Structure 1
Amino acid sequence: MAMDFTERHPRRKTNASITRWCSVIIPTLNEASTLPVTIGHLAAEMRSGGIEVIVADGGSTDGTVSIARALGCVTVQSPRGRGRQMNHGASQATAPYLWFLHADTTPPADWVRQLRKAATTGATATFPLRFATKRRFSLLHVYGWLSDFDVEAFRFGDQSLFVTAQNFRSVGGYDEGMSLLEDNDLVRRLGKSSGRLSLLDGHVTTSPRRYRQHGVAFTQSMYVFLYLAYRAGASNGWLLRRYQRAFG
C-alpha cells in the first residue's frame, strides 16, 4: 500500500526550507563504509544551504547514524524496508523537490546543474547508471549501458529519482507493501500521473557489490526473471521468496 502523506509523519518546520530547493533522501542499513563517499559529493551544496540530506535509517548497527549526523545530515529512524524508509525520509523533507539516492551510489560532478535544469520543467528525472568496476570488458558495462535507453523496464532505484514533492505525495509515495521493485512501481505510477520520466545527461555510479558476491551473470539473470514475473502479475511475496532463495 502506498503511503498517505496527509495523515502520517508531519514535515519538520524550519526557516531554512525557504531557501532549500531540494531534499536528498538516502535510505541506509549498515552503510558506514559507503555513506561518507556519497555525502562527499553533496557536501558543497549542503554547505551553501541549497539542499538538506535526510538519512532514513532502518536499524544500522555499524555507526551509520552517527556518521551521518557528523556529516551534517538530518537522521530519522524508520521500520526496515527501503520503501518505508524513503517514505519516512520524504515525510520529513522541507524542500519542493525530492531526490532519492542510494548510499552506495555517487552522482556526476555536475549533478546540481542537471537537477536544477530538470526542476525548471517540473519533470520527474533519473540518471543512466554505471557500475564502479575497473575491468575494461565486463557484462556490468552492458547492464549499465542499457539504462541509457528510454525504456521503463530499465528504471530502477540505483539510478536515483528526482521528483517534485507534490507529485511524489500525489501518488502516495512508495508502496510499502512491496519489498522488491518498489522503485520501478513508483516510476510507473508517476508516469501515469505526471508524464514520462526524463533521462538526464551523464550518469550515476553505483557499487556492484551484490554482483561480485553472487556472480554477474547469475545476479542479472535473477533480476530479469523477477522483473518479468512482476510484470506478469506475481505477488510481491512470491517474488521475495525467490529473491531470498537466490541471494540469502
Structure 2
Amino acid sequence: MSIVMPVWREAGAIESTLSGLQSLRSRGCGQGFEKPPEIIVVDGGSDDDTASLARPLCDQVIVSGPGRAVQMNAGAAAASGDILLFLHADTQLPCSALDKLAEFAASSLAWGRFDVRLSGQRRLFRVIAWFMNRRSRMTGIATGDQAIFVRKSVFVDVGGFAPIPLMEDVEISSRLKRYSRPFCIPDPVITDSRRWQKHGPWRTVLLMWRIRWRYWRGESPEALARLYRADVRNAE
C-alpha cells in the first residue's frame, strides 16, 4: 500500500503528522500486506521547510506543480503499492486502518473511504460529521477528508484525478462508482476542525453546500474555486 499525502506550507505540522504514521510502517507486514506501507509526500511548491522536514519521515518527497489533484496524481505515478491511499496532511488514520484496508484488499470492490470525525469537542462537530458520513453512504460520493483509497490498476484505468482546482474528490468518486460501490470503513479518520473553527461551522457548512449545489448544476470548478477563495477572504 502507498500513502500519498499532498502538502503545501505544512512546516508547522508535517513532522507531527508523519510521526503519527510511523507505527503503520513498523507493523505493516503481517496485517494482510507483504510490505509496510510506503509514504509519499508531494509538495506543491511550498516556500517554507515542509519538504526538508518531511524527508526523514517518509519514503519519498516529490515536488510537483501546485494543486491537490496535480500533486496526488504525481504521487500515484511514483507509488509502488497496489493500493493507493490519499491522505490529507490534517487527517489522522484510526489505529485499525491497516486491518480494515486489508479487508478491502481481500474484497472485490475497487475503491473506498473512511467515515470522518472532526477534531474538537463541540457537539455540533459530531452532528456535522454524522451528516457527512450519512450523505456519503447514500450517494456513494466521498470527499478528500474521508481518506479515499483505490486499487492502483483502477486509478490508472480511470485516468486519475481530473486536474481541476476544486471538487476533484467528488469528480473522481463519480467515475469510480462505475467500477463498484465504495468500501466504507466505519472507523473514522479524524480531520482537523481548524477551518470550521476559524470561519465558523455554519458558515463553512453553507459554503460547502453552495459549492456542491452549483457544481451539480454544471458550474465550472474554476468558478467555484474563485467563490471559495472569496468567501475565505471575507471571513478573515
Q: Same fold (TM over 0.5)?
A: yes
**Are the equivalent residues in 1 in contact too, given 2:211–2:224 (CA < 8 A)?**
yes
**Are the equivalent residues in 1 in contact too, given 2:140–2:173 (CA < 8 A)?**
no
What is the root-mean-square deviation of aligned Cα atoms in Å? Answer: 1.5
- More displaced, 220-229 or 150-159? 150-159
TM-score where L is the length of structure 1: 0.85
After the TM superposition, which residues 77-226 of structure 1 pair with which residues of structure 2 at under 5 Å, given as runs? Answer: 77-123=63-109, 124-135=111-122, 137-138=123-124, 140-149=125-134, 150-152=137-139, 155-176=142-163, 178-192=164-178, 194-226=179-211
**Are the equivalent residues in 2 in contact too, given 1:114–1:201 (CA < 8 A)?**
no
3-state SS, counterpart of residue 196 of structure 1: coil
**Are the equivalent residues in 2 in contact too, given 1:211–1:219 (CA < 8 A)?**
yes
**CA separation of 1:218/1:117 partners in 2, compared to 1, >3 Å: closer, same or farther?**
same
Rounded Cα–Cα distance in structure 2 between residues aligned with 1:128 and 1:166 = 24
Q: State the shift of 1:145 in Å.
A: 0.8
Amino acid at match of 2:177: G
3-state SS, counterpart of residue 201 of structure 1: strand
**Are the equivalent residues in 1 in contact too, given 2:40–2:58 (CA < 8 A)?**
no
Amino acid at match of 1:241: R
TM-score where L is the length of structure 2: 0.90
Q: Which aligned segments of 4 or more residues in structure 1 are displaced greater than 4 angstroms? A: none
Tell me the residue number matched to 1:30: 9
**Are the equivalent residues in 2 in contact too, given 1:37–1:106 (CA < 8 A)?**
no
3-state SS, counterpart of residue 61 of structure 2: strand
**CA separation of 1:41/1:152 partners in 2, compared to 1, >3 Å: closer, same or farther?**
farther
Tell me the residue number matched to 1:51: 37
Measured against aligned partners, the alpha-carbon deviations of 1:18-61 in whole angstroms (never above 9, x if no partner) come to xxxx0100000011233233323321232454111000100112
**CA separation of 1:72/1:243 partners in 2, compared to 1, >3 Å: closer, same or farther?**
closer
1:229 and 2:214 correspond = yes
Q: Which runs of 5 or more residues in structure 2 are unaligned?
A: 28-34
1:73 to 59, 66, 77: 59
**Are the equivalent residues in 2 in contact too, given 1:129–1:148 (CA < 8 A)?**
yes
- More displaced, 32-41 or 209-218? 32-41
- More displaced, 205-214 or 216-225? 205-214
2:20 to 41, 46, 71: 41
Q: Which runs of 5 or more residues in structure 1 are unaligned?
A: 1-21
**Are the equivalent residues in 2 in contact too, given 1:83–1:174 (CA < 8 A)?**
yes
Q: State the shift of 1:211 in Å.
A: 1.3
